[in-house]
Amino acid sequence: MSYPRIDLAGATIAITGAARGIGLATARAFVEAGAYVALGDLDEAMAVQAAAELGDHAMGHVLDVTDKGSYAAFLQATTRWRGPLDVLVNNAGVMPNGPFLEQSDRIDQLTMDVNVFGVIHGMRLALPAMVERGYGHVVNVASLAGKFPLKGLAVYNASKYAVVGLTAATRLEMDGTGVSVSAVLPSAVRTELSSGIDYGILPAVDPEDIAAAVVRSVRTRAAETAVPGYVGLMANASGLVPEPVLRALRKVAHDDAAINGVDDSVRRVYLDRIEKQ
Ligand SMILES: NC(=O)c1ccc[n+]([C@@H]2O[C@H](COP(=O)([O-])OP(=O)(O)OC[C@H]3O[C@@H](n4cnc5c(N)ncnc54)[C@H](O)[C@@H]3O)[C@@H](O)[C@H]2O)c1
């Protein structure tokens, strides 16, 4: 596998879900590296405001990744602004939590629509032009929940396992085209999405740590980058551990945090936001 080097100075980059959290931190990191970044988000006012604060290397645009037409309009606006897309970051995502049997069909659908179909739409729309140029990089922000199941996150787990598989298979299909597809797999990150959940011993990192991994992937083109790295190794190794041993370890680690480690008053603010989507 060899890929033409992407020079971030002057590169054109689009990021979904970039009005806040990991997407915004990633936009800032790319702007600091000299790239031009289009910030797409469901919350147009926040995306435009965030871009204005980042300066003339940033542009905010409304985007609903579940709507292929909206995604196409976002990418068209990006290429009109700065020319062909060099890097696409599929970052937009939602994370409802709670017992599987208590989740609503509507929120299940939303989770799959945003977390899975949003990524499919983005790649279907952006990859053809990249393949034609023999140049480009796609980063899908998945999760360690795409490798390791957790109580209280079943449908979110399903969506992130889907993104991990989708990324791996499209990466193979892109072989020889000069275009790379990579996944970044964060552990718990301090953003609104995970607010109110006490993950116990699971390490929490900052959005800037994920942003640095996304930027690094432009150089390394690594298939998967877990943050922190050792948690990725643990998630991969967990498949080799006999189930009774794993269950005992899970108990020590309080693996029911997304059900029983929740501060409802804090969590409600986030859940209300995604319920309104
Ligand atoms: N925070 C964590 O603990 C964590 C851990 C692992 C993976 N992730 C993943 O990282 C990504 C970013 O998460 P975050 O923590 O920054 O979340 P966040 O809630 O802080 O930000 C997500 C952004 O996506 C936007 N968005 C939601 N639905 C959208 C849609 N349909 N179209 C366009 N934009 C939409 C929201 O408006 C929001 O601005 C997600 O894919 C998430 O699953 C987060």
Express each pLDDT in 20-45 by its tens digit. 999 999 999 999 999 999 999 999 99
Which of ligand 1's atoms lies nearest the C-alpha of 64?
32
Which of ligand 1's atoms lies nearest the C-alpha of 66?
31
Q: Are 125 and 73 in contact (CB under 8 A)?
A: no
Quote the ligand 1 centre to 23 CA distance (angstroms): 7
Averaged pLDDT for residues 80-101: 98
Residue 61 is predicted with a pLDDT of: 98
Q: How far apart are CA 6 and CA 28, in angstroms?
A: 18
Within 10 A of 88 (CB to CB), how many other CB atoms are there?
A: 27
Q: Is the CB of 60 under 6 A from ligand 1?
A: no
Q: Whose CA is nearest to atom 41 of ligand 1?
A: 93
Q: Is the CB of 48 under 6 A from ligand 1?
A: no
Q: How far apart are CA 256 and CA 142, in angstroms?
A: 21
Residue 253 confidence class, pLDDT cut points 50, 70, 90: confident
> pLDDT, tens digit, for every residue of 109-137?
999 999 999 999 999 999 999 999 999 99
Q: Active-site residues: which are they? A: 156
Residue 131 phi, psi dihedral angles, 5° rounding = -65, -40
Residue 264 has pLDDT above 90, yes or no: yes
Q: Are 74 and 23 in contact (CB under 8 A)?
A: no
> pLDDT, tens digit, for every residue of 161-189?
999 999 999 999 999 999 999 999 999 99
Global pTM value: 0.98
Pocket mutation for ligand 1, best pick of 16, 20, 22, 275 (most atoms within 8 Å of C-beta) = 22
Averaged pLDDT for residues 194-221: 94
For residue 270, CA distances in Å to 2, 137, 153, 193 come to 42, 31, 15, 6
The CATH T-level fold of domain 12-275 is Rossmann fold (3.40.50)
Q: Is the CB of 43 under 6 A from ligand 1?
A: yes
Give the max Cα distance, the chain: 56
Averaged pLDDT for residues 261-276: 97
Q: Are 137 and 218 in contact (CB under 8 A)?
A: yes
Averaged pLDDT for residues 134-141: 98
Quote the ligand 1 centre to 17 CA distance (angstroms): 6
Residue 18 is predicted with a pLDDT of: 99
Q: Whose CA is nearest to atom 43 of ligand 1?
A: 93
